[in-house]
Amino acid sequence: MKEGESVNEYFSRTLTIANKMKANGGNKGDVAVVEKILRSMTSKFDYVVSSIEESKDTDTLTIDELQSSLLVHELRMTSHVEEVHALQITHTDQHAEQGRGRGGRGGFGRRGREQSRGRERGRRGFDRSTVEC
């Protein structure tokens, strides 16, 4: 399996080669194809391959069952990456309005409590109604 290649792409490529070998007289059974696929997965699937080998009998495992198991794990990995990426975007959007220096952006018109110095400096705009005891 190539880096960045999806499970579906890899299975279609592998099964095309296996079918061509069968057409030319090669006698590769499903068991040999399943074992070859498990051996040739990339390192990011190592834990998946080992769990499949431990929990299922590779002699009775069909190609479709193997493909569905690997697809489930691939979808979980990609959804986790997208979730982390979405959380990073949310975090950076909250701080996008802040500029450099003392006032940030648009700080020219601030008066009163927000401009004070001393003890109250970092306590502006805190909503106490959201606090639960």
Residue ranges per domain, the chain?
1-90
Q: Which residues of 91-130 are buried (b: 16+ CB within 10 A; e: fewer)?
A: eeeeeeeeeeeeeeeeeeeeeeeeeeeeeeeeeeeeeeee
The answer to whether the beta carbons of residues 124 and 113 sit under 8 Å apart is yes
- State pTM to two decimals: 0.56
Whether 23 shows a pLDDT value over 80: the answer reads yes
- Cα–Cα distance, 81 to 9 (Å, whole number): 20
What does the pLDDT look like over 25-41, one tens digit per residue? 877 788 888 999 999 99
Q: Is the pLDDT of residue 9 over 60?
A: yes
CA angle 115/118/124 to nearest 5° reads 50
